């Protein structure tokens, strides 16, 4: 396709009015900014636009023939829904050129409220496969801000397969973890990166240690900042970027100054214009390249755009970190639990607690022995499949069929799961897998992203559950999931007790809650051990993970185990496993009837112990009379667990 000046949009970040004028003056085609509410940059009170200023900014941008996008990329709690409706109404009146959204609820709200402003899917939606894109297009999304883990080649493929407009971060600060799937800040500090309040645990210093011995393994340590991504800079690869079919080049930095933004916009503007005027005659402008480099914050990298960058994308020394937002802390232990006063629930479904159905207990397991152990000890549902963390092997079709027949013996259900991140390889495998399910006959499937939900709905005819990765925070999201084929959903691990109680009351879907197990703080396409020990990316990979288990040790002495799956993704676990056993009475009083144990990082024996403990307590509670919690079982649990036990987001009254 021939290039025209309209083929590419240069999109600049704006935090204040000064920056708005500067970005437009420097030649931005479009700008994006947030209001005072519901956006991803809420730490700074002096940035972002109030309602009146937003309206003026739209007028100002339009008067200069510049498009203006408003970020509404935040998860919405139940209590915030009325505020979000009001805000959408206002935005529809002032008519910016798009709303950049995150929560699936916004899709539903926008449809219900006849919002005429086009919708763009924020990078926080973690959109990385064509089925997700199609699911979003069904709701009027006209553009996606693509995952930062996608390469230009993958972007071209997505563009060809869906025809959607693609926006990509080309310059600035990056996350090392998959966007919208990082729970570290939210669970530890009660300030969620999915709600604009990230305190950046990825910028903490860490040691890489052998999980078994606890000893440091990096002989020639490159430096302690093992997760500190360098800044993205696509300037040197601009021709490839333009030819990839990405239409909007996004500069990161809504808290940056006018000088900073204007400098970057000018440099990219000149390069884009020169390239489009004469692509074959284009050369890199060394002076401009020098300028970008001279005024850089961190060192620069093309990140994933040209392939997995491995160690080259990490600033190990921390020398160029502009500032820090927190230091590592000891995660909240079970002892730190605040006492939860059971909420008052207006019971509509089960007026008498004694008459309620037996609480469901689901257990996710990694191997056939663990499955047996869970079923023997009272699990009513077992989740199997999806990511296989080394040294476990993926479940074969034969294993799965055997698991289903075993569960049938216990009148229990087997639900097969699919990976959280599904790019082309995983999608290709999933299509084939779904086709094979007729012979396996599982009782259901659990999916982890909107693309897999759509694929499952279209190709198989068994109940579909959605996993925690959908970041379910409010009942409109549950309604969206239901409308798109889900029959059960999982609550976000960042939600606190108060928030869960409110959500369960209003949800149109049965909701499951994770109450025990190893919880993933981050999921990375970056392989930490390979990068630290060998300076490589996933390719070439010397399979370090087949010999040893690795962990990251932080300055508070907390050990974060790295679980590596069959796709080489690194799943960084919290130092403490979640344990809400003492809180079951409060959860039952909030009408939660579906409980889950994440047992895939446990031995079969431990899976059995935990399943039995939860089964016993839940049955005692369901029986209804004079429940007392046997505190000695906490000691047994603590002694048997590979990590110490904590309470996750339940440390907080409200997750912010």
Partner 1 sequence: MAGINPAHVENVIKNNHRGVIHLHQIGILQLTQNLDDAVRGFKAGLAEAGLTANFHYLNADGAVSDLPQLAEKLANQTVELIFACSTPAAQAAIQLAGTIPVVFTPVFDPVGAKLTQSMDKPGGKATGVAGMVPAAAKVDFIRELLPSAQTIGILYHTGDSNALLEVSNFKQAASTVFTLIDLPVDQAEDLSALPDKLPANLDALFLPIGRVIEENFASVAYYAEAANLPIITSHAPNVPSGALGALVANHYQLGLTCSVKAAQILAGTQPETIPVGLVDNPEILLNAFVAANLGIELPLTLLAKAAEVFE
Of residues 85 and 330, the one with the C-beta less far from partner 1: 330
- Specify the residue for token string 């992203």: 449
Residue 291 beta carbon to partner 1: minimum distance, rounded to whole angstroms:
14
Residue 332 beta carbon to partner 1: minimum distance, rounded to whole angstroms:
7
CA distance 520 to 571: 6
* 325 touches partner 1 (CB under 8 A): yes
Please tell me the number of Cα atoms within 13 Å of 547 on its side-chain side.
8
CA distance 536 to 459: 39
* Radius of gyration in angstroms for the set of CA atoms belonging to the chain, rounded to a whole number: 25
Q: Which of 286, 557, 626, 635 binds partner 1 (CB under 8 A)?
A: 557
Q: Give 233's DSSP letter.
A: E
Of residues 160 and 327, the one with the C-beta less far from partner 1: 327
Q: Which of 555, 627, 638, 640 binds partner 1 (CB under 8 A)?
A: 555
Q: How far is CA 418 from the centre of its chain?
A: 15
Of residues 255 and 276, the one with the C-beta less far from partner 1: 255
* 357 touches partner 1 (CB under 8 A): no
Of residues 324 and 539, the one with the C-beta less far from partner 1: 324
* 631 touches partner 1 (CB under 8 A): no
Helix (H, G, I), strand (E, B) or coil at 450: helix
* 82 touches partner 1 (CB under 8 A): no
Q: Are strands 645-646 and 577-579 parallel, antiparallel or unpaired?
A: parallel
Of residues 377 and 496, the one with the C-beta less far from partner 1: 496
Of residues 222 and 356, the one with the C-beta less far from partner 1: 222
Residue 54 beta carbon to partner 1: minimum distance, rounded to whole angstroms:
19
Task: Find the binding residues for partner 1 in span 127-166 (CB under 8 A).
Answer: none
Of residues 206 and 602, the one with the C-beta less far from partner 1: 206
Of residues 115 and 334, the one with the C-beta less far from partner 1: 334
Of residues 281 and 322, the one with the C-beta less far from partner 1: 322
CA distance 328 to 307: 31
Task: Find the binding residues for partner 1 in span 31-50 (CB under 8 A).
Answer: 43-46
Residue 328 beta carbon to partner 1: minimum distance, rounded to whole angstroms:
5
Whether the CB-CB separation of 39 and 196 falls below 8 Å is answered with yes
Number of residues that bind partner 1 (CB under 8 A): 32
CA distance 545 to 566: 11
Which positions from 502 to 541 touch partner 1 by CB under 8 A, shown as an x/- string?
----------------------------------------
φ, ψ (nearest 5 deg) of residue 373: -60, -45
Q: Which of 323, 344, 348, 639 binds partner 1 (CB under 8 A)?
A: 323
Q: Report the phi/psi class of residue 565: left, alpha or beta, with left for phi > 0 and alpha for psi in -120 to 50.
A: beta
Q: Which of 161, 330, 482, 620 binds partner 1 (CB under 8 A)?
A: 330
Q: Give 297's DSSP letter.
A: S
Which positions from 14 to 33 touch partner 1 by CB under 8 A, shown as an x/- string?
--x-----------------
Residue 553 beta carbon to partner 1: minimum distance, rounded to whole angstroms:
11
* 627 touches partner 1 (CB under 8 A): no
**Maximum C-alpha span of the chain:** 82
* 205 touches partner 1 (CB under 8 A): yes
3-state secondary structure 343-356: CCCCCCCCCCHHHC
Residue 382 beta carbon to partner 1: minimum distance, rounded to whole angstroms:
36
Residue 256 beta carbon to partner 1: minimum distance, rounded to whole angstroms:
7
**Tally of CB atoms within 10 A around 160:** 10
- Which of 454, 423, 403 is closest to 146 using CA atoms? 423
Residues near 570 by beta carbon (within 8 Å), at least 6 away in sequence:
522, 523, 524, 526, 527, 528, 562, 563, 564
- Which of 265, 635, 650 is closest to 493 using CA atoms? 650
The full DSSP string for 26-38 is HT-SEEEEEBSSS
Of residues 224 and 463, the one with the C-beta less far from partner 1: 224
Of residues 230 and 615, the one with the C-beta less far from partner 1: 230
Helix (H, G, I), strand (E, B) or coil at 458: helix
Residue 307 beta carbon to partner 1: minimum distance, rounded to whole angstroms:
31
The DSSP bridge partners found for residue 210 are: 550
CA distance 115 to 336: 45
Options 103-111, 322-330, 368-376, 446-454: segment touching partner 1 (CB under 8 A):
322-330
CA distance 620 to 625: 8
Task: Find the binding residues for partner 1 in span 227-266 (CB under 8 A).
Answer: 255-260
* 191 touches partner 1 (CB under 8 A): yes
Helix (H, G, I), strand (E, B) or coil at 439: helix
Length of the chain: 656
The DSSP bridge partners found for residue 120 are: 100, 143
Of residues 306 and 338, the one with the C-beta less far from partner 1: 338
Of residues 203 and 364, the one with the C-beta less far from partner 1: 203
CA distance 514 to 597: 6
Q: Which of 95, 214, 324, 425 binds partner 1 (CB under 8 A)?
A: 324
Q: Which of 556, 605, 619, 623 binds partner 1 (CB under 8 A)?
A: 556
Whether the CB-CB separation of 363 and 383 falls below 8 Å is answered with yes
Of residues 42 and 176, the one with the C-beta less far from partner 1: 42
Q: Which of 326, 392, 457, 644 binds partner 1 (CB under 8 A)?
A: 326
Residues that bind partner 1 (CB under 8 A): 16, 43-46, 188-189, 191, 199, 205, 255-260, 322-330, 332, 336, 554-557, 653
């Amino acid at each position: 396709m021939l290039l025209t000046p309209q083929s590419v949009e240069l999109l600049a970040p704006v935090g204040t009015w000064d920056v708005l004028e500067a970005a437009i003056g420097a030649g931005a085609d479009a700008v994006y900014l947030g209001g005072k509410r519901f956006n991803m940059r809420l730490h700074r009170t002096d940035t972002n636009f109030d309602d009146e200023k937003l309206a003026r900014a739209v007028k100002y941008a339009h008067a200069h023939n510049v498009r203006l996008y408003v970020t509404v990329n935040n998860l919405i709690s139940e209590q915030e829904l009325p505020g979000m409706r009001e805000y959408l109404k206002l935005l529809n009146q002032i008519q910016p050129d798009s709303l950049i959204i995150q929560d699936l609820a916004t899709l539903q709200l926008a449809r219900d409220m006849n919002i005429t402003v086009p919708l763009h899917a924020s990078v926080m939606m973690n959109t990385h496969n064509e089925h997700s894109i199609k699911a979003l297009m069904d709701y009027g999304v006209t553009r996606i801000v693509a995952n930062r883990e996608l390469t230009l080649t993958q972007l071209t493929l997505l563009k060809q397969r869906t025809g959607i407009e693609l926006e990509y971060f080309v310059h600035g600060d990056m996350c090392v973890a998959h966007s919208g799937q990082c729970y570290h800040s939210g669970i530890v500090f009660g300030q969620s990166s999915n709600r604009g309040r990230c305190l950046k645990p990825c910028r903490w210093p860490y040691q890489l240690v052998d999980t078994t011995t606890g000893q440091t393994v990096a002989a020639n340590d490159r430096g302690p900042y093992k997760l500190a991504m360098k800044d993205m800079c696509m300037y040197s690869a601009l021709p490839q970027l333009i030819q990839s079919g990405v239409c909007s080049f996004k500069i990161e930095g809504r808290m940056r100054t006018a000088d900073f933004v204007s400098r970057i916009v000018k440099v990219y503007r000149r390069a884009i214009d020169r390239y489009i005027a004469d692509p074959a005659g284009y050369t890199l402008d060394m002076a401009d390249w020098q300028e970008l480099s001279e005024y850089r914050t961190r060192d620069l990298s093309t990140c994933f755009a040209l392939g997995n960058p491995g160690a080259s994308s990490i600033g190990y020394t921390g020398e160029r970190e502009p500032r820090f937002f927190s230091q590592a802390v000891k995660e909240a232990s079970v002892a730190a639990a605040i006492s939860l006063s059971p909420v008052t629930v207006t019971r509509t479904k089960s007026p008498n607690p004694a008459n309620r159905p037996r609480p469901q207990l689901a257990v996710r397991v990694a191997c056939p022995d663990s499955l047996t152990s869970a079923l023997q000890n009272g699990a009513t549902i077992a989740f199997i499949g999806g990511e296989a963390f080394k040294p476990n092997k993926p479940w074969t079709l034969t294993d799965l069929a055997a698991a289903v027949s075993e569960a049938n013996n216990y009148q229990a259900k087997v639900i097969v799961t699919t990976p959280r991140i599904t790019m082309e390889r995983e999608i290709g495998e999933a299509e084939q897998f779904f086709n094979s399910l007729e012979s396996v006959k599982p009782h259901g499937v659990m999916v982890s992203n909107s693309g897999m939900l759509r694929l499952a709905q279209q190709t198989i005819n068994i109940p579909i559950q959605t996993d925690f990765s959908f970041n379910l925070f409010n009942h409109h999201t549950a309604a969206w999931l239901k409308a798109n084929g889900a029959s059960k959903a999982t609550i976000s691990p960042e939600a606190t007790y108060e928030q869960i109680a409110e959500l369960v009351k209003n949800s149109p879907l049965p909701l499951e809650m994770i109450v025990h197990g190893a919880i993933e703080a981050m999921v990375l396409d970056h392989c930490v051990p390979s990068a630290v020990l060998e300076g490589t990316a996933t390719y070439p990979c010397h399979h370090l993970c087949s010999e040893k288990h690795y962990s990251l040790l932080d300055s508070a002495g907390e050990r974060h185990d790295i679980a590596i799956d069959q796709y080489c993704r690194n799943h960084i676990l919290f130092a403490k496993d979640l344990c809400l056993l003492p809180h079951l009475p409060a959860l039952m009083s909030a009408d939660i009837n579906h409980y889950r144990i994440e047992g895939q990082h446990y031995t079969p024996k431990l899976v059995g112990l935990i399943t039995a403990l939860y089964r016993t307590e839940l049955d005692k509670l369901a029986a209804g009379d004079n429940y007392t919690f046997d505190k000695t079982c906490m000691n047994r649990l603590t002694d048997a667990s590979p990590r110490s036990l904590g309470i996750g987001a339940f440390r907080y009254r409200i997750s912010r």
